[in-house]
Every structure is written in structure tokens, then in C-alpha cells.
Amino acid sequence: MAEVLEAVLYSDVPPSDEQTLRFEKFLKNKYGQDLTLKWVEDPSINAGFKLAVGAEVYDWSRDGLFRQLSEKLSKRVNSKDTIPLLTKALEDWELEILPQETGNVTRVGDGIAMLDGLKNVAYGEIVIFENGAKGMVQNLKENEVGCLVFDADERIMAGSSVRRTGRTASMPVGDKFLGRVVTALGAPMDGKGPITAEDYYPIEKRAPGIIDRQPVNQPLNTGLLVIDSMFPIGRGQRELIIGDRQTGKTAIALDTIINQKGKNCICIYVAIGQKTSNVVQVYETLKRHKADEYSVIVAANAGDSDSLQYIAPYAGCALAEYFMDKGKDVLIVYDDLSKHAVAYRAISLLFERPPGREAFPGDIFYLHSRLLERSAHLSEEKGGGSITALPIVETQGGDVSAYIPTNIISITDGQIYLERNLFFSGQRPAVNVGLSVSRVGGDAQTKAVKKAAGSLRLDLAQYREMEIFTQFSSDLDDVTKKQLAYGTGLMHILRQPQYSPYSQHRQVVLLVSATNKCMQDIDPDDMDAFVSELLTGFESDLGNLCREIDATGQLSDETKKAIISYANKAAADYKKKIG
């Protein structure tokens, strides 16, 4: 059955006979049928008319014409010289006789609004409420549309009108965002004034295809010896950081950001559901180490709505894609995706979607896969840029078999598992060598570090196994005692102060010295002091070898022998010094 259309004309004064004839002629030409024109007085329209035909609205009021002109001008302003642009826009501007599909709010609350009348609206499209608030369509039903509300929903009431924009949600991007703290909508929140956007990128975007990618084979060093030696991260990789609360997950991410100084890598830290004080602390840490100059913080704090927490990682990824498209390398940290999943679960339940395992909706896997798949190392034809993702997930009681952790483990290219017992025993970073893995492996490691690491991981695995076995035995032979002492020394070597990333030559010196048992006889309690003396002395006496390792990423046999000789002499001298 064909829809019966009704034409309603809204204005503050009734139309003249001539105007009525013109409106009826327009309706005849547009819809191909005679429509009865009904006039309704609307005092809010102080100049012009609004013509509603079914769900379509032609806004010829003064406010509507001004909005059309503003939108046209906003698309053209890329210069400080706004007066000529305004003049040009006025000269070129023509009234767009286009319908605007409008609807009404049926109910609103908890950061979502349910709408009717928007028959042709698309998923992810931005809608604007009559008070200027914006929302994003997320739920499409036969007779109802659900959308997220980005602004305070107290100003939106049932019966309020809402109109389509025909645009999807976008994030303002540009070089001016470096050094700033912004919301999930790109608005500054650091009190440093407005940010000039160079472009707008959609927050939802299809991931690069296989043809547009190249292998992950360039290292992105974290500066952390335990990670770079055994679980290397490459540019374009997705490496999960997983562990219980307060085990140092964010500290690893911040160390990695700090280590990118001077390496032509843009860093983006996305805070999801964090306390405002924590975000401030992160910013102050980056600023103290002068890492804020190449970093951006995108924050949707715990006090923000679930809607903003939901779009925050996608907004941060859009900003990362802007730099990647310019051929730059980008590191993005999602802290953390478990809170992101909780926010999405709350939204889905409000939309009355059927819950599944742990009350999460059925598409929770797709939520994170479509985000993390956007991390890539682009082909040279596409500029050669990259996005390296470090998603963070919090576990409960070390349970890595929970729903969200297992989902993200299956999406990523490896995980760094932080263990609570190791953390509180003083082993920091508290990386569990047995459960951590990098599926990229040595492809993302310099030859120097790869050669220096040798059998480190195997040695540590044997030590952990022997340690568990020998705790039930009091009578140990000399070989076992030496093996335990060697393993204990390795564990101490892998301890590293926070915000003190190692350069490549320092990592090589430590790894060669440790795996060749040059520190075998150093007491574990004296290990930190000895390591500090060893590195300082090596850089002072053999600075040319340090520069060679950093420049070439290679470890020759002669250089390895020189390191072993120097480390053995330094250990002997240290033992004499302490008596």
C-alpha cells in the first residue's frame, strides 16, 4: 500500500495566496501528485517557512538558510583569510532545495536516545537534535532507531525533533594535536586553547587489505631488556599487554612511548574509563621525559558517558591513521580494552540486545577485531607508514581464560603476561617468560640483540623448572647450585627501573655478559650496582663499539669477544673492590 503523504507548512504568519500557489506547484513537480497544503502556525519561526512532507523537511527558515551557508563555509575554510572566503561563499551560494529527513525522540536516558521517523538513516550516521546535541546511530530496528548521545542528554526530551546529517562520525586530525590532551570527540581538555584541524577522518574505517600491507620486519624497541630480547615487537604488530590490576601494564606502555624519543615515531595513548588523576599523571610523566612533544592523549575518563568510552579507541585509531597515511610510524596504546568492552556491554543492554557469555553481546569479538585489524605496516606504494598497537587488558585473579582476554589474545600477534607474584617479589617488569609470546619473533629484532640473546629464554625456563623442583630439597650438588645462581643472576639482570629504557648497545652488553656467565660469581644483592658500573665503564672505555652497535644493529664476533673480555675483567675488579 502506497504511503499517504501529508504536506504541512510551518511559519509564524500565514502564506499569501501567491506563496500558496508556488508551494503547491513545487509539491506537484516534486511528488507527482496533488497534495493538500496545511498551514500550522509556529511562533518559533520568526522568518521564512518549513515544509514537511511525510518524514522529509525543507527548511527555508532564517535559521535553516544560515545553517546551509555555515556548512558550506566550514568546508572551504582552510586559511586565516576568512573575509574573502566568506565573500566568495556568499557569491557562489545557492539555496539547496533538498529534503532533510527528520524524526522525533520517543525516549531518552542513560546516554542513549530512541528515535522514530528516520526511515533511511544509516548505521554510524550522525544525527543532530533540535537543541544542537549530536548522536550516532547504533541500533536499527524496523520501527525504531537507537543512537548514542555524545552531549548531556538532560537537554533532550521525548518529542524533541532530530534530523539526519548524512555524515558518519569523524575525528578531527592534524599535526597540531601533538602534545595535546583531547576528548574522544577531538575537543581539547588541557586548557591550552582550540586546536586547528587539518582534516577529518572517519572513526570507523575498513582495515587495510593484504595487498596494501607488507611484512612486520622492522623493530619497535621498548627499551625493556626482557621484552626486546625475548618478545620483540615490530612496527605494525599488535602485542597484547595482559595482567591483573596494579602489575605494571601501563608502566610498560609508558616506557615504550618514552623510548621512541628521537626515533621519528608518533605515539598516541588512549585512556578508556581511567580516573582523571591517572590521566593527569600519565601526561605529567610524558612531559617530564619530554615525550609529550611527539605524543597525543585521547581520554574518555571514568566520569564520561559509556558512549564516549565506546568511541574513544576508534577516535584514537583515526588520528593514528592520519599520521600513518603520511608515511610515519605510529605507536598506539589502548588502556584498557576490558573497560571498553564493559562500556559496550552497558550500551548493548540499554539497546535491549540479547546478552551472551558474561552478559556481553554476541558481536563483542567483532568490536575489537575491527579495531585492532587497522594496525598494519603499509606497503611502499601506500607510503610505508605503520600503526603498532599495544592493547591492554586487565585480568581477574590471573584468569587469562576469561571471555574478553581470550578474544583479544586470539586477535593479537602475541601477549606480554604480567604476573602478580613476580611483581610483589620485586621482579619488575613482572613478565612471565613462560606465558608470554611474540608471534612475529626474531623477524622484528635487530641481528645484534638476536645474537646476544642466544639461549636466554631456554635458560630461564630451565631455571624456573629447577627452582620449583629444588624447593623440596635441601641437599643440592654443586652443578645444581651453579645453575640456580646463574638463573637468579639472569632474573636480576632483567629487572629494570621504571622510565629508564635501555639503548640497543646497553641491551647487547648486558645480554652478552649474562649469557656467557661473566656475572656468575656476583652476589644477586650486588647485581644492580655492578650492572651500573659495567655499563658506565663500557661506554667510557669502548664508546666506539657502542656507536657501532647502535648504527649498524650488528654484533660481530670480535665485538662479542671484546664485551666478554671487558665484562670478565669488570667482574673480577668489582669482587676485589667489595672484598
What distance in Å separates the CA atoms of residue 486 and residue 466, rounded to the nearest whole number?
A: 12
Helix (H) or strand (E) holding 3: none
What distance in Å separates the CA atoms of residue 194 and residue 180, rounded to the nearest whole number?
A: 10
Helix (H) or strand (E) holding 43: none
What distance in Å separates the CA atoms of residue 173 and residue 326, rounded to the nearest whole number?
A: 12
Rg of the chain over all Cα atoms, to the nearest angstrom: 31
What distance in Å separates the CA atoms of residue 137 and residue 149, rounded to the nearest whole number?
A: 9
What distance in Å separates the CA atoms of residue 135 and residue 157, rounded to the nearest whole number?
A: 14
Listed in order, strand segments (DSSP E) in 339-456 are: 386-394, 414-418, 437-438
> In this structure, are residues 405 and 399 in contact, taking their beta carbons and an 8 Å threshold?
yes
> In this structure, are residues 136 and 147 in contact, taking their beta carbons and an 8 Å threshold?
yes
Active-site residue, selected from the candidate residues 439, 457, 464, 495: 439
What distance in Å separates the CA atoms of residue 264 and residue 318, rounded to the nearest whole number?
A: 19
Q: What's the distance, CA 210 to chain centroid?
A: 22
Catalytic (active site) residue 439: yes
> In this structure, are residues 427 and 248 in contact, taking their beta carbons and an 8 Å threshold?
no
Helix (H) or strand (E) holding 41: strand 37-41
Asked if residue 42 has a cis previous peptide bond (ω within 30° of 0), the answer is no
What distance in Å separates the CA atoms of residue 27 and residue 33, rounded to the nearest whole number?
A: 7
What distance in Å separates the CA atoms of residue 281 and residue 16, rounded to the nearest whole number?
A: 65
**Side chain identity at 186, as an amino acid letter?**
G
Nine-digit cell at 422?
613476580
Query: Alpha carbon of 540 to those of 133, 214, 528: distances in Å?
Result: 62, 40, 19
Query: Alpha carbon of 100 to those of 36, 107, 123, 124, 284: distances in Å?
Result: 20, 22, 17, 18, 47
Helix (H) or strand (E) holding 551: helix 543-552
Active site residues: 439
